[in-house]
A and B are shown apart, each in its own frame.
Chain A
Amino acid sequence: MSDEVAIHASGLTRTFGAFTAVDHISFDVGAGEVFGFLGANGAGKTTAIRMLTGLLAPSAGEATVAGHDVYRETEAIKRDIGYMSQRFSLYDDLTVRENIRLYGGIYDLTDATIRERTQRILSRLGLQHVENTLVHAIPLGWKQKLALSVALLHEPRIVFLDEPTSGVDPITRRQFWELIYEASHGGTTVLVTTHYMDEAEYCDRVSIMVAGRIAAIGTPAELERTHGVESIDELFVQLARNDPNARGAAGGGGAAA
C-alpha cells in the first residue's frame, strides 16, 4: 500500500426523485489496495460505482478517481479505469477472441499488444480451446473470468468490479479472487462489491454500506475487533438490524434512534 490516493469520495450523494440511493458517503482508497464494498442488494453499491466510473452524474458531494474529478473529467477517468458490470456485458455473438480484440482496439492498444495479451489471457484462463467460440456458448464462470480479463486488458490504474462473483460456483469464485490478487500485485487498485460476506476476508479494507450510507469502514480484523464480532457476516447483520433506515433488512422497524 502506498500513501497515494486512487479514489477519494467526500459526501458523495445520488438521489432519484425522493429516493436517496447513496447518502453522503466519504472514503479514500489507496493506490494498490483491494477495497471491498459490502452491502445488501439495494444498499447503493452499484450506484456509487456508477458515479465513480463516470456513468452516472452525482447529485452532490465530491469525488476524484485517479486524480480526475467525477463531474468534469469523466473521459479522463475512463482512460485510467477498467470496469466489470454486474450484468455480463461482453458481446454474446462475438467470439472470445473477437471480444478481446474489440476492447483492445477501443483502448488504443497496438495490434501486436492485442495479440500478445490475447494469448496471455487465453492461456491464463485455459480458454485456448474456445477462443473462436461465440461467447454465449461458454459457461457463466468462464464468461465472468473473461469479462474480468477484458476489464484489465488495457492495464488500468484502477479497476471497478461490480459483484463479479455473483452466480458462480465456489471453485470459480476462488479462481476469480486469484485473478484479482494478480491484478493487485501488478499495481492495480481494485474496488470490488459483493454481498458474500466471506469475501470480505480477501480484501485489504472493506466498507459496509447500509441503506445508502457507509455504516462501517476498516480492515476486516479491525472491524471485527472494534465491534466485538466473530466475523464480518455477524457485523453486517448487526449493522443492518440497528439501522433505523434499513430497507427490508431490519424486519419491523423497531424503536427510533
Chain B
Amino acid sequence: MSAPGSGSGAARRGGIRRFIRRTLVLAHAEVLHVTRDRATLLQIIVMPLVQLLILSNVATFAIQRSPVYVVDDDRTSTSRGLVSRLGASGLFDVVGRSSSPDSANEAMLRGRITLALTISHDFEADLVRTGQAPVALDVNTEKGAAAGVVQSYATQIIGAYAREIAAGMHPVPALALRDALPADEPPPIRGFGRVDVRFQDWYNPTLNYKHFMVPGILVALVTMIGTLLTAQNIAREKEMGTLEQLNVTPITKAEFITAKLLPFWVLALIDLVLGLIVGRLVFGIPMRGSVVLLLAAAAIYLVVALAIGLWISTTVDTQQQAMFVTFFVMMVYLLMSGLFTPIASMPHWVQLLSELNPVRHFVTIARAILVKGAGLREIAAPMLILTVYGIVVLLLAIRQYRKRTA
C-alpha cells in the first residue's frame, strides 16, 4: 500500500478492481433476494403504478360542480341570468334554491354546499336605477384552500356577468359583491368592471392540476418505496444474523453500502420510468423538456433518497424501528415538499428548513423539466444541492455502518 511511485498506482488500480468486484458480487446477491421474493417485487412494480392511477385523481385543487345554494329574493330575468351563469360554468351546481336564508344556512351547516348566493329583493331595480346592486356570497371556509378557489371562481363569474350587463348600459353599473368574508369588508367600490384584469396562464394553459400533481405524486411514491426498502434492508440482515457473517469478512463499509444501494437505485429508476410512461399515456402529462435530463436528475436524487434509507437502516436494530423512522421522515418529506401546499406561503424559517428536503428539490426539477421545458441551466441550483446532498448522505451512511459492536 505504501509502496512508492508506480507501485501505489498499481495498488490503487487493484483496490478499485476489488471494490467493483466485491460490490457487484454482493449487489448480485441482493438482486436475487428481491427477484425471488415475488410479493415484494409485485409491491415494488405494481403498487406504485396503481397508486399513481388512483391518487392522481384524488389530489386536485380544482373545483368542479361545487354545490351552491341560491336565495333569490328578486326573481327577475337579471337575477335568473346570474344564477344560470354560475350553473353554466360547470364549476358550480345549483343544488337548491328557496327564498329563505334559513334553509341556505342549514345546508351550509350540514356541509352539503360550499357556497350560498343571496340576491336581494331590489336587485334588478337597483341595478337599473343606481347602476349598482349588491349580492352576497357566503363561502364555507372549513377547507381553507378550496374555499379560496370557490370564492375566486364565483367572483370571476359574477364579474363577467356585470361586464356583460354593463356593455348594454349607461352609465356603467357595478355589480357590487358583498362578500360575506371577511365581515368588515370596505364598502363596494363603484365602477367595478372598469378595470379589466386579464390573466394569461403560462406553462399550464388549461390549468390542469394533473399536469402539476402527477409528477409530484410519482416522485413521492418512488421516494417512499426506495426509502422503505433500503431502510428495512440492513435491519433485516441484522435480524436474520446474515449481517454478522458479512461483518466478519474483509468487505469494506463503502463496498457494502454501495452494493446495497445499487440494486434499489436501478429498481427505483425503473419505477420512475414506468410511472412517467403511465403519466404520459393515461394523464397526458406534458414532457416539454428533455427526458434524458430528467432521468439524470432522478439518478442523482435517488442516491440521496436511498442513502437516507440506508443511513436509517444502519442506525436501527429491527425492521419495525426502520419502518417507524421512515414514516416519520416521509411525513416531513411530503408535507414540506411543496407537493400539496406552496412553499412560498410557508413561514420563512420553514422555507429554510425545507431546503433540507431532497423531495422538494426533485419535485421542483421534475415540474420544471416536464411542465416548463426547463434545461440544465434552469435547474442547475437544485441539481447542485442534490449532488452535494447525495455525497454527504452516502458518506454518513458509510460512516454510520458498524462492522464491530462497540
Contacts and interface: CB of A to CB of B under 8 A. Distances in A.
Contacts of B404: 54-57, 74
Contact of B250 (A79, A88, A102): A79
A102 B248 contact: no
B406 to A, nearest CB: 5
Contacts, number: 79
Given A54-B248, A93-B32, A102 B242 contact: no
Interface string A71-106: 000110011010101011111111000100111011
Interface in A88-141: 88-94, 98, 101-103, 105-108, 134
Given A55-B404, A106-B22, A98 B250 contact: no
Nearest to A147: B245
B32 A54 contact: no
Interface in A26-75: 50, 53-57, 74-75
Given A78-B250, A91-B33, A55 B244 contact: yes
Nearest to B33: A93
A107 B249 contact: yes
A106 B26 contact: yes
B2 interface: no
* B-side interface mostly: helix
Given A55-B405, A89-B244, A105 B32 contact: no
Nearest to A102: B29
A66 to B, nearest CB: 13
A75 B26 contact: no
B18 interface: yes
Contact of B405 (A56, A79, A108): A56
A78 B21 CA distance: 18
Given A54-B404, A75-B250, A105-B22, A85 B36 contact: no
B250 A85 contact: no
A98 B245 contact: no
B378 to A, nearest CB: 44
Contact of A101 (B25, B241, B405): B25
Given A89-B240, A105-B22, A55 B248 contact: yes
A12 B170 CA distance: 103
Contacts of A75: 250, 252, 403
